[in-house]
């Protein structure tokens, strides 16, 4: 039951991700439908424009014999020209079979030109080259309407998407990008706030624990000095003194983790060796324990009491994982500019999906456990020692290796 929250969190992430992908797909689909509808409308406008062009050419060649007919023809031509001139947004080129440009509209020419120029010969060389280059590109697209003026005489109307349609085609991706940025900002803000709150809780809890332990420990130390005078034998006093000193060490650790600890030059081999030696005397003889330290020293910047705490937590977890029988090995080594500590056991192992969860506060597989040991270890290693701690490898039923990486002192 204790791991349900992590199952919910993991599956919740996938549900949210799936929902986000579905919503994005629906949004893009609807936007694509809208863009296609606008594209069809623009093509219909271009077909009307092409028909008007064809009709205007035919009307110009009409022979009239009276003024009434002439007026009707002129009105028809004016109407067709009005249709043609109504297009103020879609760039168009009208060319013949020999790729001679007959008409153009709505292009931003590189040099100044009349607002409406129907004769390319009137344009500058730069503008003509610009339009011819446009024609070459537009001939490769499907945005073309072929106009048959008369048998053997054809014209071709090429057009580009309007500025509005181009903007609409980019808009969904821009909006998705803005949404993604907003989500990322909110996510990191929430994560940062959560971490800040957790840090305050850790600091407050650690300082309060150290404070609460301080008074009884001081009292016990005073009593330890009186015990020999009360007739208690030296061996008993010595053993009790070890326990009192242990309590004092624990209080000191909580005091250090509740504030920024002082980092000093340490030999990591010596620190790991001391923690291993302490735990070796408290491990069942049915568990084979060994510490294989690399030759020489491993100079690092570290807080020895806190680092020993990390090692003790890892070794206690390894003992619990072996369930009273098996093998535990501690090794140190160097990779590039980092000191490496591996803690390996032959215990029950950790499923791959739980590799990250084991460092979460409250996560535990023990019947009696708070699930804070590895969380504290991660905080000590990553926040104070600027290192990394992670599950290097694990196989269910075969064992686990936890790895710590610490920068070597320069």
DSSP 94-133: EEETT--EEEEES---SS---SS---GGGS-HHHHHHHHH
Q: Is 309 exposed, middle or buried (0-12, 13-18, 19+ CB in 10 A)?
A: buried
Residue 212, pLDDT > 90, answer no
pTM above 0.85, yes or no: no
pLDDT of residue 55: 65
pLDDT of residue 63: 43
Q: Which residue has the higher pLDDT, 251 or 292?
A: 292
The pLDDT tens digits for 332-367 are 999 989 999 999 999 999 988 888 888 876 666 666
Average pLDDT, the chain: 79
Instruction: Round to whole Å and give the CA distance between 211 and 20.
Output: 48
The pLDDT tens digits for 119-167 are 677 778 888 888 889 889 888 888 888 888 778 778 888 888 777 777 7
Paired sense of beta strands 338-345 and 399-407, if any? antiparallel
Task: For domain 261-407, give the fold.
Answer: Heat Shock Protein 90 (3.30.565)
Under the banding of pLDDT at 50, 70 and 90, the label for residue 75 is low
- Other CB atoms within a 10 A radius of the CB of residue 101 amount to 20
Instruction: Round to whole Å and give the CA distance between 169 and 179.
Output: 17
Q: Give me the residue spans of the domains in the chain.
A: 4-161, 261-407
pLDDT of residue 10: 62
Residue 330, pLDDT > 90, answer yes
């Amino acid at each position: 039951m204790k791991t349900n929250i992590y199952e919910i969190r993991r599956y919740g992430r996938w549900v949210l991700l799936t929902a986000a992908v579905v919503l994005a797909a629906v949004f893009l689909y609807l936007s694509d439908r809208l863009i296609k509808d606008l594209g069809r409308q623009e093509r219909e406008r271009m077909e009307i424009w092409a028909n008007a062009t064809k009709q205007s050419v035919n009307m110009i060649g009409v022979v009239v014999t009276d003024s009434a007919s002439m007026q009707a023809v002129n009105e028809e031509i004016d109407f067709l020209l009005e249709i043609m001139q109504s297009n103020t947004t879609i760039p168009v080129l009208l060319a013949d079979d020999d790729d001679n440009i007959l008409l153009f509209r709505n292009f931003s020419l590189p040099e100044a030109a009349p607002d409406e120029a129907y004769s390319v010969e009137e344009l500058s060389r730069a503008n003509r080259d610009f339009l011819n280059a446009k024609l070459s590109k537009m001939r490769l697209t499907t945005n073309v309407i072929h106009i048959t003026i008369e048998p053997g005489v054809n014209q071709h109307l090429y057009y580009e998407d309007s500025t509005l349609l181009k903007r609409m085609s980019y808009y969904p991706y821009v909006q998705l990008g803005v949404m993604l940025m907003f989500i990322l900002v909110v996510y990191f803000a929430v994560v940062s706030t959560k971490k800040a709150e957790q840090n305050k809780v850790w600091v407050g809890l650690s300082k309060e624990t150290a404070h609460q332990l301080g008074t009884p420990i001081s009292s016990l130390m005073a009593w330890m000095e009186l015990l020999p005078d009360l007739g208690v034998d030296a061996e008993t006093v010595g053993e009790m003194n070890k326990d009192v000193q242990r309590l004092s060490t624990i209080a000191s650790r909580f005091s250090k983790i509740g504030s920024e600890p002082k980092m000093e030059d340490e030999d990591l081999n010596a620190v790991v060796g001391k923690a291993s030696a302490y735990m070796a005397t408290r491990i069942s003889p049915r568990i084979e324990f060994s510490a294989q330290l690399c030759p020489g020293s491993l100079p690092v910047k570290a807080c020895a009491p806190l680092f020993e705490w990390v090692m003790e937590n890892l070794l206690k977890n390894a003992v619990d994982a072996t369930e009273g029988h098996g093998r535990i090995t501690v090794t140190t080594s160097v990779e590039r500019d980092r000191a490496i500590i591996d803690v390996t056991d032959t215990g029950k192992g950790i499923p791959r999906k739980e590799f990250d969860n084991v460092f979460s506060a409250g996560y535990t597989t023990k019947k009696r456990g708070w699930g804070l040991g590895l969380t504290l270890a991660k905080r000590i290693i990553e926040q104070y020692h600027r290192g990394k701690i992670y599950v290097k490898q694990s196989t269910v039923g075969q064992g686990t290796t936890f790895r710590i990486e610490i920068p070597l002192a320069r």
